[in-house]
């Protein structure tokens, strides 16, 4: 502690200084600059004391300097004012608190000593009083902060979804509250045999990067964490290196030896859930509380660094006993948050498995599309990761979080779910007419064939009796002509029934056939006229492309709306709110030619555009579908490129799909999901 006695030159002659002059006495020719210098050079964080002898005339000026902005280093002082009786009126009342004495007569050496002693005594008493008040204020502030922390802990922990992030936060909050330098969290787990053990899950030390490998610990009284987990008691250990011999637990110093760290004071708290089970242990190490480490802005702001053994000896203190109950409350909240987190994860997993099982069930109705939604989901996830990794270009600002990728995955898994409401025969329709319809049509022509053949045979038999050979031969010729014609018509109908694209318009071929059969009257055994080609048969055979007529195509297209209706009914949590929209727009095209709404360009969400590429690619390369043969990978890419050129699918997204070889996660031969590249280009 620096103690100064400063005497202004102006009153030097009024004081008889003692013979033994203290080295702290400063005789100042310019009192203002002396005090200013002391204030500026007094850089120690400790408080200094000063007794100042001045003339009344100097009081105003000196008081202003001492109470001014430069006295930030806590110079505590008392002033002894000397002057004439007539000058006393210059003393303002508001200055009196700093004035220790007023002397109008000469100060003897003995009086000087007493005045100095008295002034320092006052300063010291005031300083102690001030320190006490400050300490009380700090304690009050600490308690208020603790209360606020406690209120906020539950709130903040309940919003964290990632389990690792949750543990990290629990430890940071605990360290913040107790001013601990380091800490670890252990979680109780159970093996298949039902034996419980502790798993070291997370640890953090300020200013150090200590190894953090997970390990397990038996729940018994030997280790400190094990003891706390067994007994359910808080352990507040002032010095881990001096644990009483009779204590049932012991401190394992191997970690300190390995890492050059010294675990000195420890506060170890059990985490209890709502049914009083211990689900883990929070272990806090080395409180630095007395060093005033209360932080204001974030956990990393602890300023006190423990580097040398000297630092550990000097700066580490036992944990304040008030932290025991406080940390029990924190641990209780932490336990609830961990349990909630586990439960939410469990529900999410169950929900996800349920969705996957439902999708598998729906897709198993049709072998041709089996596994389609899972492959689309994998491609979508990989695309989203690849986009998030872009640092330049159109997608540089798009970063999909894990939750958003999960949202896309759910949307992809369910994108075709609406197909469950659609007649399976439409999906399985291989030709333009269903098998039964085609057989029925051919049967009518076979019947016609026989009818004609029989008619001629009757005529020929009648003629044979009359033995007119030429007539018979003519009839035979006519019969054969007609029968050949029927066979040709049958062949053309069989060809027309194929879903492939023909050069000639099927309508023209059908009109030709209609002309050829015009006038033919065919009756069933009840005498009813048989319509050789019905309206329905004609409508189907007239299909220009594929095997579906416009009504069936419309019904298939309607799967998007049905899927949308289905996913809209699911009460998704807010983070999955985009799922219905992604599902609804997965068949929309950039040029507006898609369905169901025909929206175009930026109106189509990026996730739906990603899905469109994944959907088309998989539909092209996957196993034969009734209406098309499987296409090889390079042809599929060629078709996709054409689609991008024609502004139907997103060109930039397709570029990512191709350049980063996202398609490689689907095995070309087995159509199984191969491996995950996590958004990074997939190597050959």
675 vs 188: CA distance, rounded Å: 33
Query: Which stretch, 261-269, 274-282, 296-304, 607-615, contacts Fe ion (CB under 5 A)?
Result: 607-615
What is the residue-wise DSSP string for 99-148?
EEEEESS-B-HHHHHHHHHHHHHHHHHHHHHHHHHHHHHHHHHHHHHHHH
Could you say which of 615, 643, 649, 657 contacts Fe ion (CB under 5 A)?
615
392-421 mask for Fe ion (x: CB under 5 A)?
------------------------x-----
Question: How near is the Cβ of 333 to Fe ion at its closest, in Å?
Answer: 45
383 vs 680: CA distance, rounded Å: 10
54 vs 6: CA distance, rounded Å: 8
Question: How near is the Cβ of 662 to Fe ion at its closest, in Å?
Answer: 17
Phi, psi values for residue 6, rounded to 5° = -110, 125
What is the residue-wise DSSP string for 284-296?
EEEE-GGG----S
Question: How near is the Cβ of 611 to Fe ion at its closest, in Å?
Answer: 8
Closest Cα to residue 448, out of 512, 506, 515, 531? Answer: 531
Question: How near is the Cβ of 373 to Fe ion at its closest, in Å?
Answer: 7
Query: Which stretch, 20-28, 271-279, 344-352, 611-619, contacts Fe ion (CB under 5 A)?
Result: 611-619
Question: How near is the Cβ of 590 to Fe ion at its closest, in Å?
Answer: 17
338 vs 344: CA distance, rounded Å: 10
Question: How near is the Cβ of 618 to Fe ion at its closest, in Å?
Answer: 7
Residue closer to Fe ion by CB (options 181, 588) is: 588
Place of tokens 């054409």: 642
CA 460 to chain centre: 88
237 vs 324: CA distance, rounded Å: 11
Residue closer to Fe ion by CB (options 334, 611) is: 611
Residue closer to Fe ion by CB (options 588, 615) is: 615
Residue closer to Fe ion by CB (options 382, 416) is: 416
243 vs 372: CA distance, rounded Å: 64
Residue closer to Fe ion by CB (options 156, 565) is: 565
Question: How near is the Cβ of 215 to Fe ion at its closest, in Å?
Answer: 46
DSSP designation for 283? E
Question: How near is the Cβ of 632 to Fe ion at its closest, in Å?
Answer: 20
Query: Which stretch, 167-175, 239-247, 403-411, 610-618, contacts Fe ion (CB under 5 A)?
Result: 610-618
Residue closer to Fe ion by CB (options 537, 588) is: 588
# of chain residues touching Fe ion (CB under 5 A): 2
590 vs 127: CA distance, rounded Å: 77
Query: Which stretch, 201-209, 344-352, 574-582, 608-616, contacts Fe ion (CB under 5 A)?
Result: 608-616
- Cβ burial of 365 (10 Å; 0-12, 13-18, 19+) is middle
Question: How near is the Cβ of 235 to Fe ion at its closest, in Å?
Answer: 59
**Interface with Fe ion in residues 412-471 (CB under 5 A):** 416
Closest Cα to residue 238, out of 176, 290, 167? Answer: 290
Cis? peptide before 675, omega within 30° of 0: no
Residue 588 is a binding residue for Fe ion (CB under 5 A): no
Residue closer to Fe ion by CB (options 416, 588) is: 416
Give contact residues for Fe ion (rule: CB under 5 A): 416, 615
């Amino acid at each position: 502690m620096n103690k100064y006695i400063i005497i202004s030159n102006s009153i030097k002659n009024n004081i008889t200084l003692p013979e033994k002059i203290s080295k702290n006495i400063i005789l100042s020719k310019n009192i203002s600059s002396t005090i200013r210098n002391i204030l500026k050079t007094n850089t120690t964080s400790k408080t200094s004391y000063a007794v100042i002898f001045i003339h009344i005339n100097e009081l105003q000026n000196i008081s202003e300097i001492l109470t001014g902005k430069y006295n930030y280093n806590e110079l505590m002082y008392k002033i002894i004012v000397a002057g004439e009786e007539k000058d006393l009126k210059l003393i303002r009342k508001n200055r009196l608190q700093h004035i220790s004495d007023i002397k109008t007569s000469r100060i003897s050496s003995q009086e000087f000593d007493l005045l100095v002693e008295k002034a320092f005594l006052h300063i010291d008493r005031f300083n102690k009083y001030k320190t006490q008040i400050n300490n009380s204020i700090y304690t009050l502030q600490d308690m208020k902060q603790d209360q606020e922390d406690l209120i906020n802990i539950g709130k903040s922990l309940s919003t964290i979804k990632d389990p690792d992030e949750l543990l990290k936060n629990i430890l940071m909050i605990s360290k913040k509250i107790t001013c601990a330098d380091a800490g670890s969290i252990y979680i109780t787990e159970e093996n298949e045999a039902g034996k419980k053990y502790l798993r070291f899950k997370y640890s953090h030390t300020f200013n150090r990067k200590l190894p953090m490998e997970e390990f397990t610990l038996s729940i018994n009284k030997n280790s400190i964490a094990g003891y706390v987990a067994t007994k359910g008691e808080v352990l507040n250990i002032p010095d881990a290196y001096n644990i009483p011999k009779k204590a049932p637990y012991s401190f394992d110093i191997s970690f300190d030896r390995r890492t050059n760290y010294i675990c000195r004071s420890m506060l170890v708290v059990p985490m209890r859930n709502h049914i009083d089970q211990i689900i883990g242990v929070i272990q806090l190490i080395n409180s630095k509380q007395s060093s005033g480490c209360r932080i204001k802005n974030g956990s990393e702001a602890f300023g006190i660094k423990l580097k040398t053994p000297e630092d550990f000896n000097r700066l580490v203190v036992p944990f304040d006993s008030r932290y025991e109950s406080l940390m029990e409350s924190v641990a209780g909240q932490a336990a609830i948050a961990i349990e909630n987190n586990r439960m939410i994860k469990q529900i999410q997993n169950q929900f996800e498995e349920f969705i996957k099982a439902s999708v598998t069930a729906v897709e198993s109705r049709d072998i041709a599309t089996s596994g389609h939604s899972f492959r689309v989901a994998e491609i979508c996830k990989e695309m989203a990761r690849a986009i998030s990794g872009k640092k330049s270009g159109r997608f540089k600002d798009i970063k999909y979080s894990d939750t958003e990728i999960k949202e896309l995955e759910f949307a992809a898994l369910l994108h075709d779910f609406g197909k469950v409401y659609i007649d399976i025969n439409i999906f399985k329709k291989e030709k333009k007419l269903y098998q039964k319809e085609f057989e029925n049509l051919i049967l009518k022509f076979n019947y016609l064939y026989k009818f004609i053949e029989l008619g001629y045979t009757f005529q020929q038999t009648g003629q044979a009796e009359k033995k007119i050979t030429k007539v018979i031969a003519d009839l035979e010729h006519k019969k054969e002509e007609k029968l050949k014609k029927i066979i040709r018509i049958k062949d053309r109908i069989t060809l027309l029934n194929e879903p492939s694209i023909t050069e000639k318009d099927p309508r023209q071929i059908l009109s030709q056939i209609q002309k050829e059969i015009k006038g033919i009257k065919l009756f069933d055994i009840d005498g009813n006229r048989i319509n050789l080609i019905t309206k329905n048969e004609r409508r189907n055979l007239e299909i220009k492309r594929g095997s579906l007529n416009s009504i069936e195509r419309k019904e298939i297209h309607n799967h998007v709306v049905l899927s949308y209706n289905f996913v809209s009914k699911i009460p998704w949590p807010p983070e999955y709110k985009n799922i219905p929209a992604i599902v609804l727009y997965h068949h929309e095209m950039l040029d507006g030619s898609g369905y169901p709404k025909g929206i175009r360009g930026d109106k189509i969400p990026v996730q739906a555009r990603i899905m469109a590429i994944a959907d088309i690619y998989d539909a092209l390369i996957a196993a034969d579908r009734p209406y098309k043969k499987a296409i090889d990978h390079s042809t599929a890419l060629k078709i996709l490129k054409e689609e991008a050129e024609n502004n139907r699918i997103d060109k930039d997204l397709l570029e990512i799909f191709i350049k980063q070889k996202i398609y490689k996660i689907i095995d070309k031969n087995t159509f199984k999901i191969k491996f995950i590249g996590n958004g990074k280009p997939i190597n050959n």
